[in-house]
Amino acid sequence: MNWTWFHKWGSPKWFYEMSGRWLPWLAVAAVLLLAVGLVWGLAYAPPEKYQGNSYRIIYIHVPAAFLAQSCYLMMAIAGAVGLIWKMKLADVALQQAAPIGAWMCFIALVTGAIWGKPTWGTWWIWDARLTSMLILLFLYFGIIALGNAISNRDSAAKACAVLALVGAVNIPIIQKSVEWWNTLHQPATFKITGKASMNAEMWLPLLIMVLGFYCFFGAVLLMRMRLEVLRREARARWVKDEVAGLVKAGSK
């Protein structure tokens, strides 16, 4: 196998140049997908048989919950890459993804509570799915706090990577919680095998929203990582040139 693609990620300069090219496409894709998904989900998808229109919250609740979990998995992988190969960019990705993941977890919990009130009659219950998502939010807080608390960058990177890896145990628990425990939460809408449990008019806009959220995450993550690379590599020649160029362009 050819590993040059992997070694390229060791170069912050390569990342900065490539991400500059990807960012506009991701941003445009995110805006388009989210706009189409929002209008379709809110206005055109048919009402649900039992829940009426309150089910439309699914179009933000499920994408945010997916992303909150995927983001954590990505951070665990970045943590492993950082620990094994000492790749600097892995720690940048881990640190910059954490706040986005925490916000997505927040959206999933808040929209879930708002959806729960008319559907279950309560904002919150200490149910397996809800509790494991709350633990995920606290894991995000833990990683953010740990990253800020340790002033030595290498030590902070190591500690955060270990926490990200250990906390990844929670992800399969979230996934399986609706099967392992008795819960109010409905089972998965999408399954990799077998038919989706909704009709196409309902899950197509959901799929578009999920893709939109992922593009949104990609765009915001790249934005945050690019700034962090400039900060961390401030002493490199290419960063000095880049910042000088940006400053000049901004002052015109």
Partner 1 sequence: MSFASFGEFLAMGNHGPYVWSAYGISLLVLALNVVLPILARRRYLQDEARRLRREEAK
Residues near partner 1 (CB under 8 A) are 34, 38, 42-47, 52-54, 56-57, 60-61, 64, 100, 103, 106-107, 110-111, 114-115, 117-118, 216, 220, 223-224, 227, 230-231, 243-244, 246-247, 250-251
**CB of residue 162 to partner 1, shortest distance in Å:** 26
Q: Please give the span between the terminal C-alpha atoms of the chain, in angstroms, as a whole number.
A: 48
Among 227, 210, 212, residue whose Cα is nearest residue 93: 227
Tokens of 237: 């020649």
Q: Given the complex with partner 1, which of 109 and 157 has the nearer CB atom? A: 109
Alpha helices in 40-126, H assignment, sequence order: 58-85, 88-120
Q: Given the complex with partner 1, which of 159 and 239 has the nearer CB atom? A: 239
Tokens of 252: 């015109």
Q: Confirm if 203 and 153 have CB atoms less than 8 A apart.
A: no
Q: Given the complex with partner 1, which of 15 and 159 has the nearer CB atom? A: 15
CA distances from 242 to 11, 230, 235, 237 (A): 16, 9, 12, 9
Q: Confirm if 13 and 236 have CB atoms less than 8 A apart.
A: yes
**CB of residue 96 to partner 1, shortest distance in Å:** 9
Q: Given the complex with partner 1, which of 129 and 159 has the nearer CB atom? A: 129
| 199 phi, psi to nearest 5 deg | -85, 165
For the chain, the helix, strand and coil percentages under 3-state DSSP, each to the nearest 5: 80, 0, 20
**CB of residue 193 to partner 1, shortest distance in Å:** 30
**CB of residue 238 to partner 1, shortest distance in Å:** 15
Q: Given the complex with partner 1, which of 193 and 251 has the nearer CB atom? A: 251
Q: Given the complex with partner 1, which of 94 and 159 has the nearer CB atom? A: 94
- When computed from its CA atoms, the radius of gyration of the chain, rounded to whole angstroms, is 20
**CB of residue 181 to partner 1, shortest distance in Å:** 25
**CB of residue 57 to partner 1, shortest distance in Å:** 5
